[in-house]
Amino acid sequence: MIKNARLIQLLAAATLSVTACATATAIDDGDAPANQRDQALDRLQHSSGAPVAMELSEAGTTRILSMTPWFPVATHATDVAQAATSFLAAHHDIFQIDAADVASFAVTRVDAEPERNMSHVTLQRTFNGIPVFQGAITVHMDGGNGVFRALGDEFYQVSAPTNRMMLDPAEAALAAGRAAGASLAL
The answer on pLDDT for 22 being more than 70 is no
For residue range 111-132, list pLDDT tens digits in order: 999 999 999 999 999 998 899 9
Q: Using CA atoms, how far apart are residues 176 and 186, in angstroms rounded to an integer?
A: 13
Give CA 175 to chain center in angstroms: 38
For residue range 60-94, list pLDDT tens digits in order: 999 999 999 999 999 989 999 999 999 999 999 99
Which percentage of the chain shows pLDDT scores above 90? Answer: 59
40-76 burial string, b = 16+ CB within 10 Å, else e? bbeebbeebeeebebeeeeeebbbebebeeeebbebe
